[in-house]
Structure 1
Amino acid sequence: MGLITTVGLLVLCVIHNISCADDVTLVQVEQGQLRGQVLDAVVGDFQYLSYKGIPYAKPPVGKLRFRDPVYLDSWEGVLNATQHGSVCPQFNPITGVYTSGSEDCLFLNVYTPSLTPDTPYPVVVFIHGGAYIFGSGNTDLYSPDYLLANDVVVVTINYRLGALGFLSLDNEDVPGNAALKDQVTALKWVQRNIGKFGGNPNSVTLLGDTAGGASVTLHMLSPMSKGLFHKAIAMSGSATCDFGITYKPAEKAKVFGKALKCENVEDSAALLDCLQAADYDTFYSIAPTVLASEEITDVLFKMEHFTPVIEKKTGNNFLTEDYYSALTKGHVNKDVDFIIGYSSQEAVLLIDLYNAAYVDLYSRYQELFAPSEILIKSTPDTNLNVAKSVKEFYFGDKPVEVENLDLFVKYASSASIGYHAQRYANKWANFGRKTYFYIFDGFTDWNFFGQSGVKYGIEKASHFDIGYYIFYPESLNWSIDTSSVEYQVSKKLTTAITNFAKSSDPSVDGVAWPQYSASNKAYVTFGNDGLSVGYGPDEADYNFWAGVYKNARIPF
């Protein structure tokens, strides 16, 4: 396998007459030397090399705040890469916890079975989720042990979040999408350096969950990302999801400035100076609503204030074309094989919040049932008609109330994540590369967020659940029973991912995973009992939403 063993490590030390504690992990990268550490995997009898907290861009502070990232210069001496770097400032709305972190947070982590494999390993680069406002690539949730057992190099990254990562002034100084350009900069670092860790820069797979999955689909559209990766996996997120659609981002920046007491928000230079001098710890609590209606539609899974934008052309852009236009015209990075999918009931994540507040809110303001894209582009009459049709499709003659929470969860799962995935896949599959589709329906004790549904009689996979089968969450301190159903589900998922990274074929356990097309709509379901093949994932829901957009005269 090429995985480091204790005996092999001792042999290396004897042959080279070096200190095992310090020098066996030394790596020379473009910027200087790194010292990592040898770690025991939580599963299997093997060890791997870990390099944490590697800076890949200059700290985006002072006059670099909100601006495009700047590639990192060299450092002096040997960088100790045994601890994670700072997380980016963030507020987690699920836990209600704000973490100040540091603006100096552009770090990545590299994990490898061996620095000197016989054949370079495929590389998996993971982009964490968190609605573009929270999360990190750190091992508290994303330890790479399960994946490394299949002989790949794993890279996880931090990128700027919230206003720091996505504020746009719609000009050359701050065109927006700084966080996505952070990700691009990390991918450039991988291209230049991953060979030193035993990785193959010509075989890079992007893997993302939730907002990370949406980011993956955006890299597939961006000219800036072309050639930096070769395969892509988007889990529970795509470009058109409700939470990634923002109205008037430049106006939001002005409202944001007013909330921070900036004196001249109409002068973009003065506004930028003020925002760059402001205390970032005050940013998270500001909701820069532009429309009065946004005070109501500002709900989780439906709206975030700072998200990816379509940039004004300035010469150094991540994306300047509408998602639908790019996908329809084929202005995309076509040389990419692709997997996309979602969990069976994504919205279980927020079920307690639905019960406590959101169901009543939707019952009072039924235009909330209209997708964000339609709300922004349509008239009030159209929005109300759309909302009525959505309510009738998912609730029938039953009222929108907590007694029908299961119906609300089914609606929210499709509206927030589900149909958007197939909407994207149907267009991507037209470009001739391999496309695959999945639904994750495993349910065990490892469904950390899905457990919220049990008390309501729902035992389905939630948003975020799949990540805990692919990465080991150190903060949860789970014991691993390799004979358990949990671990067998994890093995199937991680084997499918690494098979895809190696060969562009994710088939596993003798089950041939058929390629997806807009006509056959082939997919696999990952369940407790293994994989099964189907055709037409949640087809009735998808066809309904396609009709909704057609009636609203919004391209689908």
Structure 2
Amino acid sequence: MSEDCLYLSVWVPETQETRLSVMVWLTVGRGQEDKGGEELSAEGNLVVVKVESRRGALGFLATQEKSVPGNAGMLDQIMALRWIQTNIDLFKGNPEKVTLLGYGKGADLSSLHLVSPLSCSLYRNLILQSGSTFTHLISRHQVYREYIHSPRLKIPGVYREYYYKHQADERARSLASLLNCATLDDKTMLSCLRSVDAQVLTNQEFSAVNLTLHADPFPPIIDGLFAVENPGSLVEENLFKKSNLLIGTNSNEVLKGLMEFLPELNGDSVKLELSSLQLDSALNRIFPRYPESVLSLIKFQYGLFEENSFARIQNDPRRFWGLQAAVADKEVVCGVNKLAKTVSNDGNKVFRYFFDNDASDLESGKEMNLLFGEPLVSLGRRNSDTEINLSKKMIKFWTNFAKFDDPNGDMGSGEERVWPEFSAPNWSYVNVNTENLEVGEDLRGRVCVFWEQILPGFLPRTESELKERSGRNSDSSCRAVKSKANLYFPGYRPVNRL
């Protein structure tokens, strides 16, 4: 293993057409590299590009040393997108019709391109599956203030805020300590880390940080270049690229991670059940900053608050699935809903989906297997007609979105839309793995009100890590993202260093 981790794979359908739409899959590992895009490209008649870039410590380790400022993994993606803009026409692709695709953590990272001035002009639309900008993706920053006297302004003085990469620096030093590279001097520390085998370095990533569920040891940071401020704050202020969005979640969100996180299960995927004491222990580890009263409020919201003392000692699968629903809503679903509603309210086309896994199917990301046409490749096994038809249906909807900005395709004014837009007041979404695209309204909307508006009122008040600033202008164009970036991060200048 080495740090040479930026690879692009391109699949082109057999066609005489040119200027085809392009779907760019931004992967983050976790087995995603095993999938190929040949079936999606052939069935959907578009160019598919898979981008494999640096991740973990290799992609996001950050220090105060200028040679390792962080976000190398995101700059890898920028380099790949620039290459696509310059060269995809040689593969029958249209650089003006590039759609980004991400799943899970890959969707979290892909969503950052919405608010980055570097990538604003490098794509057209976004497909985010089980991810959004509203995650714990960005490292927290401490705010330091410097008092500056300014006689010219005829005021006693002002405070200038600086954002120090405090948490990221701590993580880098923790990793260095595990690898016997800890020194006070960043240059010496980095020189030592560069001498460590890449596989050994990545094996120590999760030991360097005490993590809760659904967190990465080395996430992106606010660097003033790729990320100019907290992504969620920028989205809330409508400072993001005007982009159409296909976005959704599945019924097994965080399931795999939760099963690995709970030692109470002993790795048993058959008996997914917890006692009341085990549930309390899990809640305390998953939400370590919440007081007991707030944890009780969560249990009440999800039907897990019990008064019967006999029932408390019995193992019950309802406790596990209630816990899974709570974590999934907080960490994934409500962030997806918030991003989708914000983008829609800004006047963009948004299409929301839900993928309901079979009750006996504990697989996460099955929709990705269907999207990439795995049921269409037999490889000696018999796939059901249901899975084959569902795979073809998903490929059609996803590629229609890439081609026409709409999963319904290029429809005439009189044609019926089977997939409605996700817009106020109904917030319609579709369940994609039902035969006739079952339509629902405001998926988990009331539960998200609990997480976003009710629960915060019961938490101890703390000073915001990134203070709100005045004088912001709501503007969602690429030009505004670039020209206004210096308002959001003092000293920001666009730097074309790739």
Which of 233, 241, 244 aligns to 1:337? It is 244
- Are 2:179 and 1:260 aligned? yes
For residue 431 of structure 2, give the secondary structure of its aligned residue in structure 1: strand
Question: Which residue is equivalent to 2:489?
Answer: none
Residue 7 of structure 2 aligns with an amino acid whose one-letter code is: F
Instruction: Provide the C-alpha distance between the structure 1 equivalents of 2:19 and 2:435, rounded to a whole number of angstroms.
Output: 34
Please tell me whether the aligned partners of residues 296 and 305 of structure 2 are also in contact (alpha carbons under 8 angstroms).
Answer: no
Which of 295, 300, 323 aligns to 1:408? It is 323
Q: Deviations over 1:484-518 (max 9, x none)?
A: 00011111111111111111111279643222235
Question: Which residue is equivalent to 1:305?
Answer: 217
Q: Deviations over 1:250-272 (max 9, x none)?
A: 111111111111141x3222222
Residue 214 of structure 2 aligns with an amino acid whose one-letter code is: K
After TM superposition, list the pairs within 5 Å mapping 1:66-215 onto structure 2: 101-114=1-14, 117-130=16-29, 134-137=30-33, 140-215=34-109
Q: 1:369 to 1:519 in 2, by over 3 A?
A: farther
Q: 1:362 to 1:289 in 2, by over 3 A?
A: farther
For residue 456 of structure 2, give the secondary structure of its aligned residue in structure 1: helix
For residue 232 of structure 1, give the secondary structure of its aligned residue in structure 2: strand
Question: Which residue is equivalent to 1:285?
Answer: 203
Please tell me whether the aligned partners of residues 240 and 323 of structure 1 are also in contact (alpha carbons under 8 angstroms).
Answer: yes
Q: 1:461 to 1:486 in 2, by over 3 A?
A: farther
Residue 549 of structure 1 aligns with an amino acid whose one-letter code is: P
Residue 426 of structure 1 aligns with an amino acid whose one-letter code is: K
Please tell me whether the aligned partners of residues 246 and 305 of structure 1 are also in contact (alpha carbons under 8 angstroms).
Answer: no
Residue 537 of structure 1 aligns with an amino acid whose one-letter code is: L
For residue 50 of structure 2, give the secondary structure of its aligned residue in structure 1: strand
Question: Which residue is equivalent to 1:367?
Answer: 284
Q: Which one scores higher on RCO, CA 8 angstroms, separation ≥ 6? A: 2
Residue 329 of structure 1 aligns with an amino acid whose one-letter code is: E
Q: 1:550 to 1:175 in 2, by over 3 A?
A: farther
In terms of mean alpha carbon deviation, does 518-527 or 179-188 score higher? 518-527
Instruction: Provide the C-alpha distance between the structure 2 equivalents of 1:211 and 1:432, rounded to a whole number of angstroms.
Output: 26
For residue 96 of structure 2, give the secondary structure of its aligned residue in structure 1: strand
Instruction: Provide the C-alpha distance between the structure 2 equivalents of 1:495 and 1:481, rounded to a whole number of angstroms.
Output: 22
Offset at 1:164?
Answer: 0.4
In terms of mean alpha carbon deviation, does 185-194 or 418-427 score higher? 418-427
Q: 1:261 to 1:351 in 2, by over 3 A?
A: closer
Question: Which residue is equivalent to 1:434?
Answer: 349
- Are 2:129 and 1:235 aligned? yes
Instruction: Provide the C-alpha distance between the structure 2 equivalents of 1:479 and 1:442, rounded to a whole number of angstroms.
Output: 25
For residue 202 of structure 2, give the secondary structure of its aligned residue in structure 1: coil
Question: Which residue is equivalent to 1:273?
Answer: 191
Instruction: Provide the C-alpha distance between the structure 1 equivalents of 2:352 and 2:303, rounded to a whole number of angstroms.
Output: 28
Which of 434, 438, 443 aligns to 1:532? It is 438
In terms of mean alpha carbon deviation, does 537-546 or 476-485 score higher? 476-485
Instruction: Provide the C-alpha distance between the structure 1 equivalents of 2:35 and 2:437, rounded to a whole number of angstroms.
Output: 25
Q: 1:170 to 1:470 in 2, by over 3 A?
A: farther
- Are 2:256 and 1:349 aligned? yes
Offset at 1:274?
Answer: 1.8
Question: Which residue is equivalent to 1:545?
Answer: 451
Question: Which residue is equivalent to 2:161?
Answer: none
Q: 1:538 to 1:128 in 2, by over 3 A?
A: same
Q: 1:308 to 1:519 in 2, by over 3 A?
A: farther
Which of 376, 386, 389 aligns to 1:488? It is 389
Instruction: Provide the C-alpha distance between the structure 2 equivalents of 1:144 and 1:390, rounded to a whole number of angstroms.
Output: 45
Please tell me whether the aligned partners of residues 251 and 356 of structure 2 are also in contact (alpha carbons under 8 angstroms).
Answer: yes
Offset at 1:421?
Answer: 0.6
Q: 1:470 to 1:480 in 2, by over 3 A?
A: farther
- Are 2:205 and 1:328 aligned? no
Instruction: Provide the C-alpha distance between the structure 2 equivalents of 1:477 and 1:511, rounded to a whole number of angstroms.
Output: 32
Residue 284 of structure 1 aligns with an amino acid whose one-letter code is: T
Question: Which residue is equivalent to 1:504?
Answer: 405
Q: 1:191 to 1:103 in 2, by over 3 A?
A: same
For residue 110 of structure 2, give the secondary structure of its aligned residue in structure 1: helix
Aligned residues: 413
For residue 436 of structure 1, give the secondary structure of its aligned residue in structure 2: strand
Question: Which residue is equivalent to 1:77?
Answer: none
Residue 11 of structure 2 aligns with an amino acid whose one-letter code is: Y
Q: Deviations over 1:298-348 (max 9, x none)?
A: 35x42221112222x3xxx110201222112222122x1111111123233
Q: TM-score of the superposition, structure 2-length normalised?
A: 0.75
Offset at 1:106?
Answer: 1.3
In terms of mean alpha carbon deviation, does 480-489 or 158-167 score higher? 480-489
Structure 2: state its 5+ residue gaps. Answer: 141-166, 268-273, 307-311, 410-414, 465-498
Q: Deviations over 1:143-167 (max 9, x none)?
A: 4313421210000111112110111
Q: 1:487 to 1:129 in 2, by over 3 A?
A: farther
Please tell me whether the aligned partners of residues 170 and 176 of structure 1 are also in contact (alpha carbons under 8 angstroms).
Answer: no
Instruction: Provide the C-alpha distance between the structure 2 equivalents of 1:480 and 1:202, rounded to a whole number of angstroms.
Output: 39
For residue 190 of structure 1, give the secondary structure of its aligned residue in structure 2: helix
- Percent identity at matched positions? 28
Instruction: Provide the C-alpha distance between the structure 2 equivalents of 1:477 and 1:257, rounded to a whole number of angstroms.
Output: 47
Structure 1: state its 5+ residue gaps. Answer: 1-100, 444-457
Offset at 1:367?
Answer: 3.2
Instruction: Provide the C-alpha distance between the structure 2 equivalents of 1:459 and 1:288, rounded to a whole number of angstroms.
Output: 31
Please tell me whether the aligned partners of residues 21 and 97 of structure 2 are also in contact (alpha carbons under 8 angstroms).
Answer: yes
Q: Deviations over 1:41-75 (max 9, x none)?
A: xxxxxxxxxxxxxxxxxxxxxxxxxxxxxxxxxxx
Residue 403 of structure 2 aligns with an amino acid whose one-letter code is: K
Instruction: Provide the C-alpha distance between the structure 1 equivalents of 2:423 and 2:393, rounded to a whole number of angstroms.
Output: 23
Q: TM-score of the superposition, structure 1-length normalised?
A: 0.68
Residue 54 of structure 2 aligns with an amino acid whose one-letter code is: R
Offset at 1:105?
Answer: 2.5
